[in-house]
Structure formats: C-alpha cells, structure tokens
Chains A and B, each alone.
Chain A
C-alpha cells in the first residue's frame, strides 16, 4: 500500500478519531489547531481555531455535527464540525486530557490532570441539543485516583465510565453515583502507565496500551483480562480492527531518545497482532518518531497513524491484507 502523508500539524500528533461514517478523520496535535481531513484522499477540510495549548483528545458526535476537544489550555471546547465555529467552552482549573461523548451524545466525560495541588478528576457534562442553552455545570465529578487519568470512556448503555491512567489501574465507575464499581487487580494488570484505551466496535471489550510494553484486552462488564499482547516497545496507542480480529499497537522508544539512536532501533512501526492468538501478524513502517495515535476506519479497510514526527499517515489496505493467515 502507498500511505497518504498528511502534514498539517507542526507539532507531534496526540490523537486521531474517525467519525462514524468513516469519511472524516479528526486529528489533534500539540499545536493548537485540531484538523479535519477527508478520510479517503487525505484532503484537508478545515481547522478549528481557538485553543491556546496542546490539544490532547477529541470526540465527534454520531451525526458528525459536533466535535469536542480537550486541551492543555485548561478548557474543553465544543465545535460545529462543518464550519469550525466554536460553540461552547468548558473551563477547568487544570489541563483537560480526555473527552468522550456518551451513546446518544447527551453527555460527555472529560478528565482533567492533576495540577497545582489539584487532584485529577473525571467530569461528566450534559451536552445540550441547542448550543445556546449549553452550560458548564458538571453532572458528576469523580475524584480519587492518583496521578493523571489518560483516558476515560463510557461503558455499555452509559451506565459506567471506564478510566485508566498513570497509576496503571483500570477502574469502572458508576456513571450515576460516581461509585467505584471495579478495579483491575495488580497481579494481572498493567505494571506501568496506561497510555491509551480503545473500545471494540460493539463495546463488549476494550484494549489498553501501556508503557510496560504490553497491551491488554479486557471484558467491559466484568473487567476480566482476556488477552495480553507483548511487544518490545512502550505502547502509546492502540486500535482494534472492526472487521478482522486484528489489533494494532503503536509506540516506540521515548521521544527524548529518538535523536540519539538509529531510526531502526526506535521501533516506530505499527504492529499488527492477531486478537485471539496474540501472535504478531506484521508491522507497518514509515514514521520517523514514536507513534502517538492510531485509529481504524469504521469500515476496517483503512487505518491511520499519527506520530511524534508531526505526520498523519493514512493507510488503505491492499486486498491481500484481508486474507492474511497465520
């Protein structure tokens, strides 16, 4: 395959997200402007201006009408996807790290970093249908876990919130009361910071990637460990194919060590694993720095990766990818 290279960002990529139809790709980077691209040919559709810091995460509503972004400028913003117009700003006292729309797009979960003696927190906001009625009030505020929460997503039927972060523990919270329901046990869980979390397309299980050089597959309801994928690099990003039983892990050596070693030693490929057999299928090379973000097109026929090198690489699979056998 010949990947499409998109160089719209001047700083390292942080997050990638496809809309539900798979025709738009949203990219966030440490420069301040989230960008939307056409996912088929990589043409830039527009940029969202307004943030004043690195943008860590974004999510798009099911109808591709609203975009929510979380940024290090201590805000999360709602945008009109089509025009790039800012609709609302949620202000916090610390950087917003992760955002996720609930099923139905009526709620959003936003996590904030520990900052200036403030602990990290998970906020649940109500998203109004009409942006003029939007308020910044939190429906629910969860505090407790130590260290940064790198990712928080909604569980099935919006009943739970799944969070993971620097303390390497994965937690499931009740989204109504904010009570802690389940915690991954230290024995089978990750040993180091969990950097990324991706739900399967049906939401029945999810994948976490960690700096302990492994990725783990968990059951969403019971939080039991299903599979472990061991690799030889810290994992910064994970994605799951919606079509085949494949998982993709991206990562690489620490960004600070990149310039000191040969690019082959950095292990900057996106690694494909068989979801069930936990065996490596192959690697896709190309980035000149660690991979920070991975996303699968909802049709499963293409995926994109974003790297510390500032590039988004959009890969449309060759036909022979679909009959790979181990």
Chain B
C-alpha cells in the first residue's frame, strides 16, 4: 500500500470490510493524458481488486475524427462537458458502450432483381440431390439420375420381385422348409427364381453406414441435416423423425453415407458439435434388434 505515510483520520478497522467502493478515495486520482495530435488518449485509473490490492489500469483509446462530420459550435462545446451522475465514476472494467461484433445489415425483404421467392421444396429434401445425381439410381427400373425408387413411374411395370425385402429374417428358415409344402405363403423374395442376393444386398445398403443424430433442435429439417453432413462425403439418405400428430420434429434423425470412412469421420467430428444451440449426439445407428 502506497499511502501508509499519509495522515488520515480514518482507521482501517472502522471501515466495513465488504464495502470496497468506500475505499476509493484512498486511491490516486484518475489521470487523463491526451488526446494528442494522433487522437490517442490515455486514461490511468486505480482500483482495488478482490483481494484488496491496488491495481493500476491504463486504458488507451484512439479517437478518430470523422471526415465529414459537421458539428455546430454548441455541439462542439457540449463535447467537452464534464461527466455527471453515474457517468463520473464510470468503472473502467464495465464496458457500457460496445461496438457490436456482429455486422448488421438492412435486410431486404426480397433480393434486388428477384421477382418472386423460389417455391419451397415441398417436403422433399432429396430433391436437392438432383444436381449431383450420380447417387440417384432407381432400383426398380435402373434408370440413373432421374427419380428415386419410390417415385418410379415404371413401378407397376417392373416385376414385383424386390418389393418386400424388409420381411423379417426369421421367416428365412421357415420359408425354406415351407417351400416344399404346398399352399403355404412364400414371400416373393424367397420364391424360387428370385434373386436373393440382390435382396439382402439392398437391405444392407439401407442400414449400413447409417449414422444416428440425436438432440436436434425442433427447427432442424432434412435439408439442414444434409447441409451439415454433406461435407464429409456423399450422403445417400437423410431422414428426420417428424411427429405425425403435431408435425414437429421429434429431435432425432438418420444420415446414411455411401462410404463407411466418411460416416466415421462425420461421427468423430460432429459428435458433441453445437448446432442451433444444442449439442448434437452423433453415433452409429445400431440396427433394430428383431
């Protein structure tokens, strides 16, 4: 402490301990240096920190003159008015006035030149794939880059061989034995002549490299998820669970990658990633136990 030698009538013991502000008069006065010709102003202030130690704070600010600012004489005079009220004891640490870190634009309701807003993609997030349509192969007619299997216009024309692949595997053995006994129902995939390999292949394609994303915000839709995961590699499917009744997102979804490595990378990168104020949980989707 620098001021022990100074004669002061106050005794330390008489001062309330927790009332640090009352001690402020013991500090050297505020010093303002400048502003010099470059507009650099130095303010030296002293205050007590939490432990009662004296801290010297030097704030250097540079004021720049606006080139075309025209001020009246009175306004210039007012500029040098002394501070009053709470502004006198303005704490150096408390930054009352800040410049926004964010650039705020006057947001136009519609961009210049645009006539009407693009029609919203009506609930078909996969329509976005249209551009890089290599992935899009119709399994019914084999056409590339035109439509998805579920939208195939030739669905009715194709043999229904691949329609019911998602039957439980439990019927596999049963079907094999039951195939001999006549009259029992045999799923089309299990019938003689059906390409069994292709069926199981497709099933794997649906489940493999599937990544489960949980703790999504309600506002997240499939296009958002696609945008989030696409940088890691080609994505074959995006799905966000929607509540049938309310139409709101249930907060989880699935993303299927074409390559397993991409999926692994996405998991390691995005698990714990903050997305729309929520922390995402990204993991391998475990196949449902049948």
Contact = CB atoms under 8 A, between A and B. Distances in A.
B81 A45 contact: yes
Given A44-B90, A46-B83, A282-B109, A5 B78 contact: no
A5 B79 contact: no
A5 B83 contact: no
Q: Which of B71, B90, B100, B101 has the most CB of A within 10 A?
A: B100
A199 B63 CA distance: 34
Interface stretch (A35-43, A128-136, A186-194, A220-228): A35-43
A44 B87 contact: yes
B108 A282 contact: yes
Given A23-B78, A41-B97, A43-B97, A1 B103 contact: yes
B97 A283 contact: no
B106 A3 contact: no
A87 interface: no
A321 B85 contact: no
Interface in B60-102: 63, 66, 69, 71-72, 74-75, 78-79, 81, 83-88, 90, 96-102
Contacts of A48: 85
B219 interface: yes
A324 B69 CA distance: 22
B84 A33 contact: no
A186 B86 CA distance: 47
Interface residues of B, number: 32
Contacts of A280: 109
A172 B83 CA distance: 40
Contacts of A42: 97
Nearest to A8: B96
B84 to A, nearest CB: 4
A284 B104 contact: yes
A224 B86 CA distance: 45
B117 interface: no
A4 interface: yes
B107 A283 contact: yes
Nearest to B85: A47
A4 B97 contact: yes
Nearest to B64: A41
28 contacts: A1-B104, A1-B106, A2-B100, A2-B101, A2-B103, A4-B99, A5-B100, A21-B71, A23-B75, A35-B85, A40-B66, A44-B86, A45-B87, A46-B84, A63-B74, A82-B84, A84-B84, A84-B85, A269-B107, A280-B109, A281-B108, A281-B109, A282-B106, A285-B107, A286-B100, A313-B100, A317-B106, A324-B106
Interface string A1-31: 1111111100000000000011110000000
B165 to A, nearest CB: 41
Contacts, number: 111
Nearest to A48: B85
B100 A282 contact: no
Contacts of B108: 281-282
Contact of A44 (B71, B96, B103): B96
Given A2-B99, A3-B100, A7-B96, A33 B219 contact: no
A262 interface: yes
Contacts of B109: 280-283
Interface in A68-106: 82-84
Interface of A: 1-8, 21-24, 33, 35, 37-38, 40-49, 63-64, 82-84, 262, 269, 272, 280-286, 313, 315, 317-318, 321, 324
B97 A23 contact: no
B74 A46 contact: no
A83 B107 contact: no
A264 B107 CA distance: 14
A6 B86 contact: no
Given A49-B85, A64-B78, A83-B84, A272 B90 contact: no
A261 to B, nearest CB: 12
Nearest to B74: A21
Contacts of B106: 1, 272, 281-284, 317-318, 321, 324
Contacts of B103: 1-2
A5 B97 contact: yes
A24 B86 CA distance: 17
A280 B81 CA distance: 41
A280 B97 CA distance: 30
Contact of B79 (A23, A64, A269): A23
Contact of A21 (B72, B88, B90, B100): B72
Contacts of B98: 4-5, 7
A262 B219 CA distance: 10
A9 B37 CA distance: 34
A249 to B, nearest CB: 13
A104 B85 CA distance: 28
Given A45-B87, A48-B85, A64 B107 contact: no
B102 to A, nearest CB: 8
